[in-house]
Structure 1
Amino acid sequence: MLNLDHKDNALLEAVDGRTMLAGSNRMEILLFSLGTSETFGINVFKVREVSKTPFITKAPNMPNGVEGLISLRGNVIPVLSLAKILGVARPGAGLGGSMMVTEYSKRTLGFLVEEVDRIIRVEWDKVRTPDNVASGVNGYITAITELADGKLVSILDVETILANTFGEAIVGNIAPISGGHEVNVFFVDDSAVARRKITEVLDKLGVRHKHAQNGMEAWTRLEGMASHAQQMGRHVAEEIDLIMVDAEMPEMDGYVLTRNIKNDSRFEGIPVVMHSSLSSDANRAMGKRVGVDSYVAKFDADVLAETLRPLLQRARAV
């Protein structure tokens, strides 16, 4: 078994006792295959360990693509076949030789793959949002990057995989904010599922909102709003009451985006909330380092709403 907390130190930077690249606008991707010619990747910080495919206990009434359950150090976790979920499983093919144990939004899962390759480091500005992601395998891809040999790597959208397998999180009753129609939120997230759920929460809070799909797009639009407000002799805080950012995004990660916002005096007084599936203490600590006002793990609609509520009410009171 390979424990990914003990990778080659030459590939890692230590922050608060853990390996972190966040804030440097770089990420590490674990490459793997699903028995096709394509190469796939997943952010290393979502992966706890890699092992050979273990014995999996079948269970009744499992969603399509869920092979069964395993016991891992006293915890029972579901195991998913990524090839089946992405629709690329070959007829008669086995489960694959390797299992990645992932931790995502405080949830532990096993992902079966054909073979795990290696870990690479890439700059976020070399990670692009893919075109034409409406259906098929592309519907599960959140970003694309290119290896030195020209081979493309498709980075998986784990949020979409989980939503399509287990169902989307339900957004229940959320009380609207008094005067919410005057409140403006700008948020950015590269996952279509996440954007949809965030929109549901903001709609129930009764606030107005705009969004971007990656960090660079968000920063470009925010700079444009700030410049326009400046030309009009206004403060951009009159147009934006709160900014919400994802942590890992194509072209610019949420840590660099937050640092840009906090280092630009035009955005002074506008709170920044980081909303991320990377929910470890180390990620929260990095969020604090770059200046986020609050850090919320995906996806609990009530927790998100109750985190935003006082910040938005305070903004309206100013």
Structure 2
Amino acid sequence: MSDLLKKIDARTKLAGTNKLEILLFTLGLDQRSNRRENFGINVFKVREVMRTPEITQAPEMPPAVEGMVSLRGNLIPVIDLARYVGVKTESKPDIMIVSEYNGHTQGFLVEAVDTILRLDWTQMRVPPEMLNNNMRGLVTAVTELDSGKLVMMLDVEKVLAETNQIDDAHEFRAIQPQSDVVGRTVFYADDSAIARKQIQRTLEALQLNYVETINGKKAWEELQRIAAQAEQTGRPVKDYVQMILTDVEMPEMDGYMLTKSVKSDPRFAGIPVLMHSSLSGMSNQKLGQSVGVDAYVAKFEPHKLTEAVVSMLRGQQK
């Protein structure tokens, strides 16, 4: 298993190519459907894959959290993904995917890992409403491989938010509107409902206007519509939108490709792009910079998002 991931740190730079690489895994044979579903996780979020070490039970853990394991001197939570997703299996998973994103490290228990696939984000589709309902909103994208195998991308940000059970209401109450930027408009794109809700709460606390889209493709289509409207009125686009906030991982068009499209179109001159992602490693920040991102902020930190948005809007006014 270590051989499978030994080159993750040296992945080919995919920024601006609208491509991603995913690690495929299964959770076990579901006794209710008698099927094995196939899932994927971005390799940038995977630190390693290993046999599950001894798990220490801990009191008052969320239902899907199996316990804690010691990994190189650090205690990390272990989440039984089958139990979390609602897959009922006879056997206990004994493989652990160690995932690191948004500054958090956790273990995901799975039945087996398969391979790493390179795909184009255009192959990743927004999940049908029926699938979304059956999976309780846990799938952000779905694709069918040449073999006919259906692969679902889990909303790992939702998993993190729900299993950590963090009450962040106080963070939003602490956000105060800044008079010099109140009423400005932020355009944002994110495929995670959890992340979109956090962005919305932050912007509303700052008394900012916003336009919301669920992936890069829809964002680019809407931005082009806004640009066409601006041209008709003889005004610059920045009169309508003062900054763009984008996630990285999104079906159909990722944040790198969206940024590259914005930065190569002179109609959007003077509109800064803030990348907002759970892929918080320096390598990912450098990938963002390579396509013209103006700044980078990690997800699930409302105060840092507030600081970045306010700073960027103030800079845009100069």
1:59-112 deviation line (CA, Å, top 9, x unaligned): 11111111111111111100000000001122xx34313110000101000000
Check whether the contact 1:18–1:282 (CA below 8 A) recurs between aligned residues: no
Q: Which amino acid aligns with 1:122?
A: L
**What's the TM-score, normalizing by structure 1?**
0.92
Structure 2 Cα separation of the partners of residues 204 and 4 of structure 1: 45
1:104-163 deviation line (CA, Å, top 9, x unaligned): 101000000011111111100110110215544252111001111111101110011122
Q: Secondary structure at the match of 2:15?
A: coil
Q: Which amino acid aligns with 2:141?
A: A
Structure 2 Cα separation of the partners of residues 3 and 280 of structure 1: 22
Check whether the contact 1:274–1:292 (CA below 8 A) recurs between aligned residues: yes
Q: Secondary structure at the match of 1:34?
A: strand
Indicate the residue corresponding to 1:157 in structure 2: 155
Q: Secondary structure at the match of 1:35?
A: strand
Indicate the residue corresponding to 2:20 in structure 1: 27
Q: Secondary structure at the match of 1:148?
A: coil
Check whether the contact 2:15–2:291 (CA below 8 A) recurs between aligned residues: no
Structure 2 Cα separation of the partners of residues 122 and 18 of structure 1: 14
The correspondence for 1:107, drawn from 89, 104, 107, is 104
Indicate the residue corresponding to 2:32 in structure 1: none
Indicate the residue corresponding to 1:2 in structure 2: 2
Count of aligned positions: 308
2:66 is the counterpart of 1:67? yes
How do 1:1-318 and structure 2 match up within 5 A? 1-2=1-2, 6-7=6-7, 19-36=12-29, 37-90=36-89, 93-132=90-129, 135-168=133-166, 170=168, 171-172=171-172, 173-315=174-316, 317-318=317-318
Moved more, 98-107 or 124-133: 124-133
1:272-311 deviation line (CA, Å, top 9, x unaligned): 0000000111101111111111000112000010011121
**Measured at CA, do residues 4 and 72 of structure 1 come closer, stay the same or move farther in structure 2, by a change above 3 Å?**
farther
Q: Secondary structure at the match of 1:84?
A: helix
Structure 1 Cα separation of the partners of residues 274 and 234 of structure 2: 27
**Measured at CA, do residues 169 and 231 of structure 1 come closer, stay the same or move farther in structure 2, by a change above 3 Å?**
farther
Structure 2 Cα separation of the partners of residues 138 and 152 of structure 1: 18
Q: Secondary structure at the match of 1:178?
A: coil
Structure 2 Cα separation of the partners of residues 97 and 147 of structure 1: 26
Structure 2 Cα separation of the partners of residues 263 and 50 of structure 1: 39
1:183-221 deviation line (CA, Å, top 9, x unaligned): 000000000000000000000111000111000000010
Give structure 2 stretches of 5+ with no counterpart.
Answer: 30-35
Shift of 1:252: 0.6
Structure 1 Cα separation of the partners of residues 216 and 58 of structure 2: 41
Shift of 1:164: 2.0
Structure 2 Cα separation of the partners of residues 287 and 88 of structure 1: 36
Structure 2 Cα separation of the partners of residues 64 and 182 of structure 1: 42
Moved more, 110-119 or 128-137: 128-137
Q: Which amino acid aligns with 2:70?
A: S
**What's the TM-score, normalizing by structure 2?**
0.92
Q: Which amino acid aligns with 1:35?
A: G
Q: Which amino acid aligns with 2:128?
A: D
Q: Which amino acid aligns with 1:54?
A: P
Q: Secondary structure at the match of 2:285?
A: helix
**Measured at CA, do residues 166 and 99 of structure 1 come closer, stay the same or move farther in structure 2, by a change above 3 Å?**
same
Q: Secondary structure at the match of 2:28?
A: coil
Shift of 1:313: 2.4
Structure 1 Cα separation of the partners of residues 177 and 117 of structure 2: 45
